[in-house]
Structure 1
Amino acid sequence: MGASLPASSTLFVVVFFFAINSLSVFPEVSVAKHAGVTRHYKFDIRLQNVTRFCQSKSMVTVNGMFPGPQVFAKEGDRLVVKVVNHVPNNISIHWHGIRQLRSGWFDGPSYITQCPIQTGQSYVYNFTIVGRKGTLFWHAHISWLRATVYGLLIILPKRNASYPFAKPHKEVPIMFGEWWNVDPEAVISQAL
């Protein structure tokens, strides 16, 4: 017959096996030793007069910008974004392409993963970027506010890590959007 392991060795093997498998199931654990920094942003959701294509109109913006501000981070960083709602619409922000591992309530789809932020209220999104790098985007995730409330989410590789492609000589982010001559919320209200 084959040799058997003492009980203490068997326990060590089981604990070691669980620890190794935990790294693949919970990637945040494996990132902990290479933890990034915490990056803070504040989004003030307000009505703002915006002019494009020789037309001006009042629209919902973030920090008075259309499109909204660019969010920069490195893979492994923690993002803390305080969103303050100053408009009469409920709102939430979705971080498109971010894997919300053990932080699904920060994912942003209203009435699915979180209650929307009501008028005069704020909400703090707090999550770590795991397994993502590249140019993604964030946007409002309720009704048609996504037509004006959006921006870039640029995630750089960790320090001393390479891009999954040849490092670009220069980066020029391009954000495609659309311009509505009327209020998108009014269009959906009329359609309903």
Structure 2
Amino acid sequence: SGLAAIALTTLSCTRSGDRVLLPDSIYDPVRTFAQTFLGPFGVDVAYYDPLIGRGIAGLVDDKVRLIWVESPGSVTMEVQDVPGIVEAAHARGIMVAADNTWATPLRFKPLAHGVDFSVTAISKYFAGHSDVLMGAISVRDEGLYRRLRDVSRVLGYGVSPEDCSLVLRGIETLSVRLDRAE
């Protein structure tokens, strides 16, 4: 699922004692994951105003390992200054992950704006028929891919060929459906 892709990305980047920054408008199940899973395992989570932009530099300290963006935000639909957040994060060696479910790669390309991980809940627009539960992660370099692959193997992540076929079916009409939804 998209939530599983977010969890995999976060778990691949953090250890006990680290901190993750999440926009306050993050998809609500991610907040639950952060509180009920990350917290007890010693990963601190802090929420920030999604419109903070480059001001996020003021929230960054030596414990921050990952900053999530979600633009547009779930429910609230605000658009974040992703390039500004990426610039502030990368200046401190911090990775940035984007939940790009709402925009899809047809409306926003996070990797082209410096984001390290781009996550999409394939269950929504891509599949388009409410018959698939799937998430996808795109990365900027092979090292990040290898990190994700290793953690996903330990967790037993995988998808069936049938689900992949259903997503391919949905991709054929993605642009038409997205235009209509807008």
TM-score (norm 1): 0.27
TM-score (norm 2): 0.29
More helix by share: 2
